[in-house]
Amino acid sequence: MPKTITIGIVGAGRIGKLHASNVMYYMPNARLKTIADTNLTPEIEAWAKNLGIPNVSRDPEDIFNDPEIEVVMICSSTNTHADFIIRAAAAKKHIFCEKPIDLTAKKVVAALDAVKKAGVQLQVGFNRRFDHNFARVHELVKSGSIGEPQLIKITSRDPAPPPPAYVAVSGGIFLDMTIHDFDMARFQAGSEVVEVYAKGAVLVDPEIGKAGDVDTALITLTFANGALGIIDNSRKAVYGYDQRVEVFGSKGAAVAENDTPSTVKLYSEAGVEGDKPLYFFLERYKEAFIGEMKAFLNAIETGTKTPVTGNDGLQDLLVGLAAKKSLAEGRPVKLSEISIG
């Protein structure tokens, strides 16, 4: 029987709670000992008690200082990620960190340096790599079934836009939303992005425009291996969360469609009607959130490399920064133009 891994979670917001539940329900070899949130509320305390988490705290140091805790999961707000990584690395704990590591390359590099020096493991929360559909596409690409990848196409549309207040502090659509798609594109291409051209528009909500962002975007990617990529984003698909990936290559194409609540079709005089895609990321990526955690804990247990590394987090950020620059300057931007700091 494998040994038990003791875990602390920093941050008890939506995503922290999700990971906590998944650890409690689905990770038989993991023990969630402590969850810390600087804004600890009675609601969080009740939730933690009900779930059976032994300790709650408002001080993350209760986790970093706990010698029993081997793994820290950082689920706090983005601006705290890099510091907590550095702190956790100093405490020699393995780290799972939600995406993005930071909105600046400089802080990401500092965090990755700390991880490297400490010799701990780091996985970044790009959960979509563990989606059953996209993992299957990857498997077909890896096995050579489609030959050399030539075009990577990603459709990624949210069901509803975030509040403009959120948009203002989000880092913009490319670092907040598209960064998942940049990671997916790199994952499927098996190659790094060397150039980005981003085109954006405000078609969903003028308030998003006023907040200095776009809500609709097309991003063209060029990969080191010669493949091209295209991502289309919208903040509002009225029919639900639209998440499709296609990789086209010299021997064929692998095409992933959306998931739906059921396979049922209703045939009537009005037409043939089927289900809309699963509503949003909690529904669509439910299994993928579990999958990334299992893969992370397995890497810790076996001492093997995590499947989404700190460098992945860095590269995805650099692509995002290039996209921002491209949109701002109205021209294609090479990754080499993006200064790391």
Residues 190 and 142: their CA atoms lie apart, in Å, by 9
* Upstream peptide bond of 162 is cis (omega within 30 degrees of 0): no
Expressed in angstroms, the distance from the first to the final Cα of the chain is: 46
For the bound state, the minimum distance from the C-beta of residue 13 to its own copies, rounded and expressed in Å, comes to: 21
315 within 8 A of 332, measured Cβ to Cβ = no
CB nearer its own copies, residue 168 or residue 202:
202
123 within 8 A of 97, measured Cβ to Cβ = yes
CB nearer its own copies, residue 12 or residue 327:
327
For the bound state, the minimum distance from the C-beta of residue 214 to its own copies, rounded and expressed in Å, comes to: 10
CB nearer its own copies, residue 147 or residue 163:
147
Q: What is the β-pairing status of strands 333-334 and 193-201?
A: antiparallel
Strand-pairing partners, residue 185, are none
For the bound state, the minimum distance from the C-beta of residue 282 to its own copies, rounded and expressed in Å, comes to: 16
For the bound state, the minimum distance from the C-beta of residue 268 to its own copies, rounded and expressed in Å, comes to: 4
CB nearer its own copies, residue 42 or residue 303:
42
Strand-pairing partners, residue 133, are none
* Upstream peptide bond of 100 is cis (omega within 30 degrees of 0): yes
CB nearer its own copies, residue 102 or residue 242:
242
For the bound state, the minimum distance from the C-beta of residue 110 to its own copies, rounded and expressed in Å, comes to: 34
Residues 97 and 124: their CA atoms lie apart, in Å, by 5
Strand-pairing partners, residue 155, are 232, 244
Strand-pairing partners, residue 126, are none
For the bound state, the minimum distance from the C-beta of residue 19 to its own copies, rounded and expressed in Å, comes to: 16
CB nearer its own copies, residue 166 or residue 239:
239
CB nearer its own copies, residue 163 or residue 274:
274
Residues 22 and 171: their CA atoms lie apart, in Å, by 28
For the bound state, the minimum distance from the C-beta of residue 327 to its own copies, rounded and expressed in Å, comes to: 11
Identify the burial level of 341 via C-beta atoms within 10 angstroms of its C-beta, where 0-12 means exposed, 13-18 middle and 19 or more buried. Answer: exposed
Residues 228 and 317: their CA atoms lie apart, in Å, by 19
Query: What tokens were used for 75?
Result: 């689920």
CB nearer its own copies, residue 309 or residue 334:
334
Provide long-range contacts, Cβ within 8 A and 24+ apart, for 302-307.
Answer: 305/121, 306/121, 306/122, 306/123, 307/123, 307/129
